[in-house]
């Protein structure tokens, strides 16, 4: 992140790429400004002294919740594939992911 919570166009494009979002030219500047404003709120929070505060990832007090190593019934193949956009011979099908050159 850049200084003062300012999101550059380059950073915006990078975030869009990671999120697999298409952002066109006009939207780019608008989104960068909006995200910058959001990030500025983080700067406000940064003014607080949090040296003695542990990071919170969970709000309940649970810990060490396990399940035993036991097999439960699975979906049938038909059920598993029922929400797929495209299938082939029992598999989910998608565009090629590897380009061997």
Partner 1 sequence: MKITPIIGLEVHVELKTDSKMFCGCNAEHFHAKPNTHTCPVCLGMPGALPVPNKKACQWCVKLGLALGCTVNEYSFFERKNYFYPDLSKSYQITQYQKPFTVNGKITVQGQEIRINRAHMEEDTGKSVHMVINGEESTLLDFNRSGVPLVEIVSEPDIVLSIQAKEYLLKIQQLIRYLGISNADIEKGSMRCEPTVNLKIEDNGKTFYTPLSEIKNVASLTGVQNAIDFEIERQTQAFKETKEVKNSKNKTTRGWDADKARTFLQREKEGSADYRYFPEPDIPPIEFTPAEIEEIRMTLPEMSEQKIEKYQTIYGLSDYDAKLLAEDQNFAAAYEALFDTEFVSKDQDTLKVFAKFAANLFLGSIKTYLNETQENIDSSKIVAKYFWDLFNSVQNKELSSSVAKQVTTESYKTGKHPVEIAKEMGLIQVSDSNQIEKIAKEVVVANPKAVQDYQKNPMSIGFLIGQLMRASGGSANPQVAKEILEKLLKNPTL
Residues 35-94 that bind partner 1 (CB under 8 A): 55, 57-58, 60, 62-77, 80-81, 88-94
User: 9 or 80, CB closer to partner 1?
Assistant: 80
CB of 32 closer than 8 Å to CB of 7: yes
With CB under 8 A as the rule, give the number of residues binding partner 1. Answer: 37
Cα separation, 85 vs 46, in Å, equals 45
Q: For the CA atoms of the chain, what is the radius of gyration?
A: 23
Tokens representing 89 are 């011979």
**Binding interface with partner 1 (CB under 8 A):** 18, 20, 55, 57-58, 60, 62-77, 80-81, 88-98, 100-101
């Amino acid at each position: 992140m850049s200084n003062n919570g300012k999101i550059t166009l380059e950073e915006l494009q990078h975030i869009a790429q990671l999120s697999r979002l298409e952002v066109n030219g006009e939207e780019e500047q608008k989104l960068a400004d909006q995200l910058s404003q959001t990030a500025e709120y983080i700067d406000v929070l940064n003014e607080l002294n949090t040296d003695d505060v542990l990071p919170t990832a969970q709000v309940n007090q649970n810990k060490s919740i396990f399940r035993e190593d036991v097999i439960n019934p699975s979906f049938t193949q038909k059920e598993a594939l029922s929400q797929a956009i495209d299938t082939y011979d029992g598999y989910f099908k998608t565009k090629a992911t590897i380009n061997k050159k």
